[in-house]
Amino acid sequence: MTTEMQEIAITEEKPLLTGQAESKDVELAARILLDQGQEHSIETPHGVLHVTLHGTRTTRRPAILTFHDAGLDSKSCFSPLFKFEEMQEIVKNFTVIHVDAPGQEEGAAAYPSGYQYPTMDIIADMLPSVLQFFNFRTVIGVGVGVGAYILSKFALANPDSVEGLVLVNIDTNARGWIDWAAQKLVSVTSSLTEQIMSHLFSQEELSATTELVKFHRERISKASNLLNIELFWKTYNSRRDLNIDRNSTFKCPVMLVVGDQAPYEEAAVECNSKMDPTTTSFLKMADAGGLPQLTQPAKLTEAFKYFIQGMGYMASSCMTRLSRSRTTSLSSSYSMDGSRSRSRTLSQGSQGGQMPPSSSQTMEVSC
């Protein structure tokens, strides 16, 4: 009897097949590649762009194309948001393309003294080459600060290539003479690092010296490509007015995002007043500071899901947090002129976490 049992035990012990082991190795390698992304150096008519692609290269849907702010690169600007747990539902449905401005990627070699850095217009003109390289016809743009300005230029020049825009901390105006003089004074009295920190963070955050502020101050000050960062910053400060108004604006849905008391709060509000109210949503986020994608990834992810649903994608997506709390997570707020005529919550009229079929008015919300 004992011998029989031993024989049964031996026959049940099956070695792992070679094919199974290889399959597990391939799956692990694919997961690592998906997390780290595929890096590419893309030749354009105006120079090389460093680009990181996440996800499968399916062209059935538009890609999500991101562009970072000054003093940041694609990793430091967007990794916390796109690695956020609830964002994975979006990431697994779309290809994500993170674009670094020339010389801004982590570890980039410093440009030589006297290097002529490309203008905002030229950088925007480099983006069609990225779409052609990956064979994407359209994108949904997500830009922060300088990146928001560049994606706006791209969308205005290539309306058929952009299905939607998420613009964080957008300033569509050129610097006036007073701004120019103030910037000249600041450049004399403040270091480059402090200038950029004042661009990225609210005065409350800088005064409180939060961990996020400490981290980015040290990262920028010790960056090996600090000269490149300065060139990018100076180019942005020489930007031209986008000349947006109700009759000359974006041809796609737009979501404007800004943190309460952020450096560009007034600029974002002014931009919203110039936009087409039938295709624009305005999200002002409380306790978000200057970089809401880093400080409030949960709220921004939920709003982004609604925005994508409004474009007709991810109709069955589950809006977990917003669906549970329709009035506290995203509540309607008064517009700057004290009127509620164009205000409503992002969750009004939705059932089961889905967006209403169409957007007929500007959505001004606060989180």
Q: Give the separation between CA 128 and CA 122, rounded to whole angstroms.
A: 11
Q: pLDDT tens digits for 172-185?
A: 998 655 555 555 55
Q: Which residue has the tokens 């007043």?
A: 273
Tokens of 258: 């800004």
**How confident is residue 186, by pLDDT bands cut at 50, 70 and 90?**
low
For residue 252, which amino acid is it? C
Q: Which of 54-58, 332-336, 360-364 has the lowest mean pLDDT?
A: 332-336
* Most confident of the following: 64-68, 258-262, 357-361: 64-68
Q: Which residue has the higher pLDDT, 123 or 344?
A: 123
At 129, which helix (H) or strand (E)? helix 120-134
Q: Give the closest residue to 237 by CA, choosing from 193, 186, 291, 180.
A: 180
Q: Which of 200-209, 318-327, 348-357 has the lowest mean pLDDT?
A: 348-357
Q: Which of 164-168, 211-215, 356-360 has the lowest mean pLDDT?
A: 356-360
Q: Which of 86-100, 107-121, 286-300, 328-342 has the lowest mean pLDDT?
A: 328-342
Q: Give the closest residue to 151 by CA, choosing from 179, 177, 134, 126.
A: 126
Mean model confidence pLDDT for the chain: 81
DSSP state of 248: B
Examine the pLDDT at 190 and tell me if it is beyond 90. no
Q: What are the angstrom distances between the C-alpha of 267 and each of 26, 53, 290, 340?
A: 48, 31, 13, 21
pLDDT, residue 246, reads 86
Q: pLDDT tens digits for 280-289?
A: 999 999 989 9
Examine the pLDDT at 362 and tell me if it is beyond 50. no
Q: What are the angstrom distances between the C-alpha of 195 and each of 183, 188, 192, 198, 363?
A: 9, 10, 5, 5, 33
Examine the pLDDT at 317 and tell me if it is beyond 80. no
Q: Give percent helix, percent strand, percent coil of the chain, each to the nearest 5.
A: 45, 15, 40
DSSP 65-87: EEEPPTT--HHHHHHHHHTSGGG
pLDDT, residue 26, reads 41
Q: Give the separation between CA 162 and CA 143, rounded to whole angstroms.
A: 13
Q: Give the separation between CA 120 and CA 101, rounded to whole angstroms.
A: 10
pLDDT, residue 247, reads 84
- Under the phi-then-psi rule, with left for phi > 0, alpha for psi from -120 to 50, and beta for the rest, what region is 293? alpha
Given a contact cutoff of 8 angstroms between Cβ atoms, the answer to whether 257 and 167 are in contact is yes
Examine the pLDDT at 93 and tell me if it is beyond 60. yes
Q: pLDDT tens digits for 247-257?
A: 889 999 999 99
Examine the pLDDT at 346 and tell me if it is beyond 80. no
The C-alpha angle with vertex 67 and arms to 62 and 70, in degrees rounded to 5, equals 175
Q: Give the separation between CA 306 and CA 27, rounded to whole angstroms.
A: 31
Q: Give the closest residue to 294 by CA, choosing from 242, 331, 325, 257.
A: 257
Q: 14-41 burial string, b = 16+ CB within 10 Å, else e?
A: eeeeeeeeeeeeeeeeeeeeeeebeeee
pLDDT, residue 57, reads 77
DSSP 196-210: HHHHHS-HHHHHHT-
pLDDT, residue 359, reads 41
Residue 275 burial by Cβ neighbours in a 10 Å radius (0-12, 13-18, 19+): buried
Q: 36 has which bridge partners?
A: none
Which 3 state secondary structure label does DSSP give 359?
coil
- The number of beta carbons lying within 10 Å of the beta carbon of residue 206 is 18
**How confident is residue 365, by pLDDT bands cut at 50, 70 and 90?**
low
**How confident is residue 318, by pLDDT bands cut at 50, 70 and 90?**
low
* Most confident of the following: 8-22, 170-184, 206-220: 206-220
Q: Give the separation between CA 197 and CA 199, rounded to whole angstroms.
A: 5
Rg (CA), the chain: 23
